[in-house]
Amino acid sequence: MSEQDDPDDTTPHAGSELPPEPAFERAATPLGPDARGADVIAHFVKRLPLSPGVYRMLDENGDVLYVGKAKSLKKRVTSYTRLQGQPNRILRMIMATASMEFVTTGTETEALLLEANLIKRLRPRFNVLLRDDKSFPYILVTGDHEAPALVKHRGARRRKGDYFGPFASAGAVNRTINALQKAFLVRNCTDSYYANRSRPCLLHQIKRCAAPCTGEISPEDYAGLVAEAKAFLSGRSQIVKKELAVQMEQAAEALDYESAAIYRDRLAALSHVQSHQGINPRTVEEADVFAIHQEGGQTCIQVFFFRTGQNWGNYAQFPRADKSLGEAEVLESFLAQFYDDKPAPRLLLLSHDIAERPLLAAALGERMGHKVEVAVPQRGEKRELVEHAMKNAREALGRRLAETSSQARLLKGLGEVFGLSETPRRIEVYDNSHISGTNAVGGMIVAGPEGFAKAHYRKFNIKSEDLVPGDDYGMMREVLKRRFSRLVREHGDERPVAAASTADAAMPETGAEEAAQAVDPAAIPAWPDVVFVDGGIGQLNAARETLAELGLDDVPLIGIAKGPDRDAGREKFFIPGKPSFMLPERDPVLYFIQRLRDEAHRFAIGSHRARRKKDISKSPLDDIAGIGPSRKRALLRHFGTAKAVSRAGMEDLMAVEGVSESVARTIYDHFHE
């Protein structure tokens, strides 16, 4: 999942914790190490039970080709021993199978949930895969504090409290929290900020917080506001609005116009939440709506979240699936994976019927502890919601196809301009960022057929102690050496020249055309087709020498030097062994390269700033063994600053709560030789 060669290299990835993988049974085959195909599968069939379970098909290297579930393992796997009538995708999978693994489950629903989990974990080549398995944000009303807060939450739901969601985007959560603060005056500050307040903050002044931190509202009244917020988020919005309207009228009748104005503003805020969420159903309280559309060999699944009768946003997903799979098949596999780490609502509305709809409903209901209905509506408001999602799916896929077509033209043009042997599928761009050599960071960004591939980005904290501060050439050498050394070590057998022969050897029966179909055109290969370095001839020579030391003389290298006065559009390009040149100012390929360079610069400088910020906030006390957060707070509370701690004597240090004589000696010795 991550391609880090040390703790400083990071991979942006939004994921969730997965349960440990079950123990699969793997029996040795007597057919020999080179055996593959239907004969291998037939050997395993003899030992399989008729019970439900999950099977994995493995290639000769032990990599998982496919994960499937079955009501009867024996019957399902037997079907792979008959080659006649199988689609090309299944034939390729069968012919590449060198071994199999199995695990039995108590029920078919358990098998469905395990299959979805393993597909997300292993990402097998022949399964339908989610391209972007993002975690969705939630609104959390905390339950571990005397004055609950209303905060945005993403990730594992371990903190005590009530979670409401999911929302399609962080922006949707922020807008909703902003309006809910106006309506219910519930705080959204951190607990430490709350504990250190001596007077109300600005949010209280602009009427977005009741300020329980300084006693501006009683605990009982604040608890009432929190209860109203929970009721609104739980779907009882109309009841809450009616109660506020009654309280406003009562205050007005009592001539308490100030209180009446507060209730009026709160009602307006609630109306704002509901009026700015697009389509809001009248008869659907809680549901997720899924619509799928296929065109041009690609698939788009549009998801709408409806909670408490409100639209909490929509999200487009473009799963990776074989072109031979129909819309219903892709949607069925997508749903099981989508809910592997997310709570399911009580109702799922689908645009297409799926073969195992009852099984999916039973599996989700078993995991959630309540009934889950999976329906394909034919009329009424529910059908209108599905059609609305379908329209969005068609439009999203249309935009993606247009972007992909434009990207393909740019990649082809780039290959022609720089004389590459074929259209590049992976472009890597490198840049460094530092201030006088401090907090130096190297950044690598990747672009491919679908634009920037941010999951492949890498940052490299410059570690070499031999480097002279500010030595850009030395930094580039270190970055490229670390990057390509690991690439050779982990993916040396996937180099472009070897890849073709490997594919031909693996599938002699299929032919070159079918072998080409097995490769996802949108997939990003491990090896770059071209490498750009931000800099002139000096940076390029440093990069060329580094790759030559690793025996990689055939990796295309290009240097990008900024033009006179650093003007965009006047960049000069350097290629080893060729004279430098410039592209016409309005050339689309030039604009494309500028975007690549600017993205590399943004990523590198962003990583540098993050590292610099971390160093700025670092305290000298952090380096003292045995000084944790509690003692650090006590020392700073007593002395005021870390510098004052460094000047303190033994007796002064021992006067701090929680600091014994031995701890005081450790602190004193740290600052004094």
How do residues 286-306 score in pLDDT, each as one tens digit?
889 999 999 888 899 999 988
Greater confidence, 612 or 663? 663
Per-residue pLDDT of 256-289, as tens digits, reads: 777 777 767 777 766 665 554 455 666 787 889 9
Instruction: Tell me the pLDDT tens digit for each residue of 474-510.
Output: 888 889 999 999 999 888 777 765 433 333 433 344 4
Beta bridge partner(s), residue 316:
302
CATH assignment at residue 311: 3.30.420
Instruction: Give domain status of residue 414, yes or no.
Output: no
Looking at the structure, tell me whether residues 310 and 439 fall in a common domain.
no
507 in any annotated domain: yes
Supply the DSSP symbol for 543: H
Query: What's the CA gap between 667 and 655, in Å, rounded?
Result: 13
In angstroms, rounded to a whole number, what is the distance separating the alpha carbons of residues 606 and 483? 20
Domain check: are 112 and 68 in the same one?
Answer: yes
Predicted pLDDT at 496: 67
CATH number, domain of 643, equals: 1.10.150.20
Question: Is there a single domain that holds both residue 354 and residue 473?
Answer: no
Q: Where does 105-196 show beta strands of DSSP type E? A: 138-142, 150-153, 161-164
What gap in Å lies between CA 304 and CA 318, rounded to an integer? 15
**For residue 299, with 0-12 CB atoms within 10 Å meaning exposed, 13-18 middle and 19 or more buried, which class applies?**
buried
Q: How many domains does the chain have?
A: 5
Place of tokens 């389509």: 279
In the block, residue with structure tokens 């990689």:
552
Give percent of the chain above pLDDT 70: 83
Residues in Cβ contact with 598 at an 8 Å cutoff, skipping those fewer than 6 apart: none
Query: Residue 439: inside a domain, yes or no?
Result: yes
Question: What CATH code is carried by the domain that includes residue 452?
Answer: 3.30.420.340
Establish if 417 belongs to a structural domain.
no
Q: Are residues 463 and 436 located together in one domain of the fold? A: yes
Confidence of residue 432 (pLDDT cuts 50, 70, 90): confident
In a domain, 413, yes or no: no
Cβ–Cβ < 8 Å for 297, 323: yes
Same domain for 655 and 606, yes or no, is: no
Which residue range(s) make up the domain with 265? 138-275
**227: pLDDT strictly greater than 50:** yes
269 in the same domain as 146: yes
Whether residues 119 and 152 share a domain: the answer is no
| Mean of pLDDT values over 160-187 | 82
Are 156 and 68 part of one and the same domain?
A: no
Q: How far apart are CA 110 and CA 104, in angstroms?
A: 9
377 and 458 inside one domain:
no
Q: Is residue 592 located within the same domain as residue 471?
A: yes
CATH number, domain of 99, equals 3.40.1440.10
Q: What are 574-588's pLDDT values in tens digits? A: 998 888 888 888 788
Given 65, 92, 127, the domain boundary residue is 127
Cα separation, 665 vs 673, in Å, equals 12
**Domain end call among 382, 399, 416:** 399
DSSP three-state, residue 431: strand
Residue 420, in any domain of the structure: no
Residues 301-326: pLDDT tens digits? 999 988 877 778 888 888 888 888 88
Whether residue 299 is found in the same domain as residue 378: yes
Residue 246 maps to a domain: yes
Question: How long a stretch of residues is the chain?
Answer: 673
Span 90-108, pLDDT tens digits: 899 999 998 888 888 888 8
pLDDT of residue 445: 92
472 domain residue, yes or no: yes
342 and 271 in one domain?
no
- Of 93, 127, 161, the last residue of a domain is 127
pTM: 0.67
Question: Whole-angstrom Cα distance, residue 82 to residue 84?
Answer: 6
